[in-house]
Amino acid sequence: MNGGTADPASPAVRAVWCESAWLGSEGVADAVRIEVDADGYVAGVRPGHPAQEGDVVLHGVAFPAAANGHSHAFHRALRGRTHDRGGTFWTWRETMYRAARALTPALYEDLATAAYAEMVAAGWTSVAEFHYIHHLPDGTPYGQGTGEPHAMELALARAAVRAGIRLTLLDTCYLAGGFGQPIEDGQRRFSDGSAERWLERLDALRATVAGLYPDHHVSVGAALHSVRAVPERDLAVIADRLPAGLPLHVHLSEQPAENKDCLRATGVTPAGLLQRHGLVDGRLSVVHATHLGEEDIALLGGAGAGVVLCPTTEADLADGLGPAGPLRAAGAVLALGTDQHAVVDPWLEMRALEHGERLRTGRRGHFDPEVLHGIASSGGARAQGRRSAGIGAGSVADLMAIDPHTARTAGSSWDQLAYTATAQDVTGVVVGGELTARNGTHITLGDPAESLVAAIARLDAAAAADDPTSASGYTHPRERH
């Protein structure tokens, strides 16, 4: 497959020339010219060919770009602010809610643009955005007297277009504060009130986005925030009415308390509750899945469901080590996500996945480099309902290149760079055959750090104005999500 060539009747309109490129099981080849068709797909791969005038040139070793399977863009503003008094999983709520209350469409567009630019520069070229800030802070929908309909969702779409990242906007159903608990004040802007109203808004959003953006750039999927946030009655409605084939994501078994509460309220685990309503299948992607029982693992694996693991987030929050190896062995399709963006680095996520399994089992060699790259690229793309990036005919021409001669990578076997490289070593990122970032700098947006500093400062100011008792912004968290 990697040696395929373009159809002479349909010549590639552009090409990416790589000093070296990783060709999967074939290893690393030198002087690889990747031909790209007009739609941004690989039309042919020619190892040992010289660069031609007009080619995009990638220095170092090129790999398929990564697909981010789970993001909350506004959580990027919380990095390094949730560790006072040690920090726990539950030290997120007040901090997150203050940020969520302060967000406007304009503020969210600025922050998401900066966060997505950071992702692109690191090697992520697509993202599944788990989005639940739908309405005004009091719960009034945008478009009912204030702002355009779908104002927050369209702000994220514009941010993705500006950053040049492919966006799967996972519009999230969030209806309860817990099992048998009503929505709280800080959650009002998350909720549509019922599954029926959420489905109506989801249908309208899909039509609006489809009229504005090509599907390969911005698409809409669905998410359930969690089984604790969507009552069982509403799960049944969603299972019956959700359009077939639409990607569906859900936070699942992230904490032992969620499992205990679900068992107490429904008699089954969270995975079992989804199965009760026919929602466990190949289009489902569960996020975190840290605290699964053996029956849950067998259920998800047997259905070929996706599992989006976020190793650096789960480490940051002391969530625990999820059963990545058993899930893959059972048949689940693994993907990686950055979730709260404590780290935005696909190379560190890949390495943390393998290291987590080593720590969990006491032995090495669970995920070899080829498997890790597959999880980071094709696993994440599948979770988004997208075609995968790759260096082979028909793949999406999204690439990231690594300098093999830095202080971190020097001496590494080039086919084992997944165990040594970081985003600091990324020399270039290509999206659809177009150079989008080089050496940590976004081609059109510049240094992501500058945009992040400015966007977070604006959000801090808005949060302080919204809560005058916290002049420094949001610094005393309680819990997350």
398 labelled catalytic: no
pLDDT score for 98: 87
Q: What is the pLDDT of residues 192-241, one digit of tens each?
A: 999 999 999 999 999 999 999 999 999 999 999 999 999 999 999 999 99
- Indicate the Cα dihedral angle 350, 356, 358, 359, nearest 10°: 160
The crossing angle, in degrees rounded to 10, of helices 105-122 and 151-163 is 30
The average pLDDT across 274-300 equals 98
Does residue 302 surpass a pLDDT of 70?
yes
3 — pLDDT class (breaks 50, 70, 90): very low
What is the average per-residue pLDDT within 387-415? 98
What's the rounded Cα separation, in Å, for the pair 23 and 356? 26
pLDDT at 429: 98
Reply yes or no on whether the pLDDT at 77 is more than 60.
yes
Least confident of 66-80, 136-150, 283-297: 136-150
Q: What is the largest CA-CA distance in the chain?
A: 68
Per-domain boundaries in the chain: 65-389
Q: Which of 288, 355, 366, 481 is catalytic?
A: 288
Is residue 163 predicted with pLDDT exceeding 60?
yes
Q: How many CA atoms lie within 13 A of 293 on its CB side?
A: 11
Q: Helices 105-122 and 448-466, interaxial angle, to 10°?
A: 150
pLDDT at 467: 73
Q: Among the options 37, 55, 316, 339, which is catalytic?
A: 339
Q: Which of 416, 316, 297 is nearest to 88 (CA)?
A: 316
**What pLDDT is attached to residue 435?**
98
Query: Going by CATH, does the domain composed of 65-389 fall within 3.30.300.30?
Result: no
Please give the average per-residue pLDDT across 79-83, as a whole number. Answer: 87
* Mean of pLDDT values over 12-32: 92
pLDDT at 134: 98
55 classed as catalytic: no
Residue 399 pairs in a beta bridge with 64, 430
Q: Average of pLDDT values for 343-348?
A: 98
